[in-house]
Amino acid sequence: MTTLNGHRYLEIYLNDHRAFAAGGVELARRLCRNLQDTDWAEDGIWLTNQIEEDVETLDHVRTAFRVDGGPLSAVKGMLAVAGERLGRLKLNGHLVTESPLSPVVETEAMIALVQGKRRLWSALRATVAGRPEATGFDFAHLEKRADEQLELLSRIHAGVATHAFLVG
């Protein structure tokens, strides 16, 4: 593991966020599928594209800071994806089919992940934005994107919760 000029914890931090991002992409795709036949179908596609773009940006940040994931990072990524898949096994009132509760819980999980990503961009803006490796990254813009994603997720959450609790 390289130390980024002594900043070993920055490397660990970026790798941990990348591991969570792997699970986040899987969750966004599943949420998008669950929103296909709803009023939020287009929003689900937009959100998934945004999440995938943000993961690419995080990969570019890691490359700029010469962060090598290494075997431990790969294991963390696999665990994050496995955790997302295990999350599908929730008791939601349906054994084989999707439950109207699934998008509610998935949206809540996405909100938590996007809040974490927003904190990542905020931490990087506050700590490394002036470093040469950070040239070309607009962390304030990335924070704003996360805020937009959170606003959309809040609207989706209200809609899917209403559907699950009052209609479904």
Is residue 74 scored above 70 in pLDDT?
no
Q: Residue 153: count other Cβ atoms within 10 Å of its Cβ.
A: 22
> What is the DSSP secondary-structure string of the chain?
---TTT-HHHHHHHHHHHHHHHHHHHHHHHHHHHTTTSTTHHHHHHHHHHHHHHHHHHHHHHHHTT---HHHHHHHHHHHHHHHHHGGG---S-SSSPPTHHHHHHHHHHHHHHHHHHHHHHHHHHHTTTSGGGTT--HHHHHHHHHHHHHHHHHHHHHHHHIIIII-
Q: What is the pLDDT of residue 5?
A: 53
pTM over 0.85: no
Q: What is the mean pLDDT of the chain?
A: 85
Q: What is the pLDDT of residue 114?
A: 98
Q: Judge whether residue 81 has pLDDT over 70.
A: no
Q: Which residue has the tokens 């209200």?
A: 158
Torsion angle defined by CA atoms of residues 34, 36, 37 and 42, in that order, rounded to the nearest 10 degrees: 130
CA separation (Å) from 95 to 77, 102, 167? Answer: 28, 12, 20
pLDDT for 87 beyond 60:
no
Structure tokens at 30: 């599943």
> Cβ-count burial of 58 within 10 angstroms (0-12 exposed, 13-18 middle, 19+ buried)?
buried
Rounded to whole angstroms, what are the CA distances from 104 to 10, 21, 155, 156? 33, 20, 11, 9
